[in-house]
Homo-oligomer: A and B are copies of this chain.
């Protein structure tokens, strides 16, 4: 058996989601996931630090897309406009093909405190990354922090709406509307 298994990550991921959904997250082990995927437990741990991480394996790619969106945004958009450009860039990640999986994944997270905790950590890291990028672009510390945190609010509320039952609009269409709603509410 070679060290590198073609498609192993995808097989482990699919097996994990299948087992989490059918038997519950708590009842599923890394060894069980590996067996379901026809791989060894050692292989599992070559790809994922723990079973929680399986559901967050897209986080680095998503964060990179968002940060790049902030980096490439027009400077005259201002701090929140630049941060929101990052959120809009996430639409490339959240395409229609991903929507069904995102729903299943969120149902798992919403019923498990350990997963919710990891999700909150990822959002906090995302806000930090956006804030860092805004400061790199010359935004002062306080507006960078406020804009980054507000962008994460837009991101999370957009995501919730995007996966809601019966929702068919694209991620960026919803994000644009959410940003307008935030502006209206903050303006009072």
A residues lining the B interface (CB < 8 Å) = 77-81, 116-117, 120-121, 124, 142-143, 145-147, 149-150, 153, 156-157, 161, 178, 181-183, 185-188
Contacts and interface: CB of A to CB of B under 8 A. Distances in A.
When all copies of this chain in the complex are counted, the total is 2
A156 B120 CA distance: 15
Contacts of A79: 185
A186 B79 CA distance: 8
Contact of A181 (B117, B142, B161, B183): B142
Residue of A145, A147, A186, A188 with most partner-chain B CB within 10 A: A186
Given A116-B124, A146-B157, A146-B182, 7 more contacts: A117-B121, A145-B157, A146-B178, A146-B185, A149-B153, A150-B185, A186-B186
A153 B146 contact: yes
A150 B186 contact: yes
A158 B150 CA distance: 14
Contacts of A121: 117, 120
Contacts of A80: 185-186, 188
A156 to B, nearest CB: 7
Closest 10 CB pairs of A and B: A186-B186, A149-B153, A120-B120, A78-B188, A80-B185, A146-B185, A146-B182, A143-B185, A79-B185, A117-B117
